């Protein structure tokens, strides 16, 4: 498997997703945009595209962030979808997938920062890639927006604070607004670069304190993510006729 990561910021890296790929000896490549690295011209030479998070929006312009080209990322996403590659977006990545496919990004009813449960919808409980999550799973969150919907999109999970946590846009296209990839190093980097986001801890219902966030055990949700990713690879290989 050839896995390519699009990384927008050094403090929102692939974390457990990278750990998963390395442990399976997959071929890994990166577009670390904050370092000036470029996007692939097409998805032809990859099997899985994973788009990570960031403080940007799909509506952020190059003038506002010189190394973030939303239109170019959306073009690559469409190319990957058209070539039947496996595509996963996390947080901003999820929003970019929705935007590329015609679903306008929206503001979430609540900003969520910390660890809160997501609830699988009936479609989520029936989805073979995430049914192992169970009906309720506590996962990480760090967002104020959510992906837009398309006519083909299925919402697979929601939280009390946000109605769109996991979306399946197509059999090989999944969007996670939530963060199952976070681990100790990743969350410490987020906190160090985003301390202002925590200023409303205790004031807003879905923003936890730094201490609460750092005390969370990441291992359980990481294991659930690994199973999802293995399932995703198996579906990709089946559909590709491997």
Domain ranges of the chain: 2-240
Cβ-based neighbour number of residue 206 at 10 Å: 18
- Give the global pTM: 0.98
The DSSP result for 138-203, as a single string, is EEEEEEEEE----TT-EEEEEESS-S-SEEEEETTEEEESSBSS--HHHHHHHHHH-GGGGGGBTT
Q: What H or E segment, with its residue span, contains residue 106? A: strand 106-120
CATH class held by domain 2-240: alpha beta
pLDDT tens-digit profile, the chain (242 residues)? 999 999 999 999 999 999 999 999 999 999 999 999 999 999 999 999 999 999 999 999 999 999 999 999 999 999 999 999 999 999 999 999 999 999 999 999 999 999 999 999 999 999 999 999 999 999 999 999 999 999 999 999 999 999 999 999 999 999 999 999 999 999 999 999 987 889 999 899 999 999 999 999 999 999 999 999 999 999 999 999 99
At residue 60, the 3 state secondary structure works out as coil
Residue 229 CA to residue 197 CA, distance in Å, equals: 29
Q: Which of 51, 71, 49, 52 is nearest to 60 (CA)?
A: 71
């Amino acid at each position: 498997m050839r896995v390519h990561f699009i990384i927008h910021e050094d403090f929102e890296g692939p974390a457990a997703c990278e750990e998963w790929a390395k442990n399976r000896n997959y071929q890994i490549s990166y577009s670390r945009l904050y370092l000036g690295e470029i996007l692939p011209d097409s998805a032809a030479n990859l099997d899985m595209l994973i788009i990570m998070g960031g403080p940007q929006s799909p509506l952020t312009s190059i003038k506002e962030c010189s190394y973030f080209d939303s239109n170019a990322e959306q073009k690559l996403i469409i190319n990957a979808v058209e070539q039947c590659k496996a595509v996963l977006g996390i947080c901003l990545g999820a929003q970019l997938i929705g935007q590329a496919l015609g679903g306008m990004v929206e503001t979430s009813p609540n900003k969520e920062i910390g660890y809160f449960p997501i609830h699988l919808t009936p479609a989520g409980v029936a989805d073979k890639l995430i049914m192992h999550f169970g009906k309720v799973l506590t996962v990480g969150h760090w967002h104020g927006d959510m992906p837009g919907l398309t006519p083909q999109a299925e919402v697979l999970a929601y939280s009390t604070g946000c109605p769109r946590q996991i979306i399946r846009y197509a059999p090989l296209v999944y969007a996670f607004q939530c963060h199952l990839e976070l681990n100790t190093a990743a969350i410490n980097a987020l906190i160090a670069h985003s301390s202002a986001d925590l200023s409303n801890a205790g004031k807003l219902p879905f923003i936890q304190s730094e201490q609460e966030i750092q005390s969370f055990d990441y291992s359980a949700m990481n294991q659930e993510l690994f199973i999802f990713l293995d399932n995703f690879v198996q579906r990709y290989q089946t559909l590709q006729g491997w």
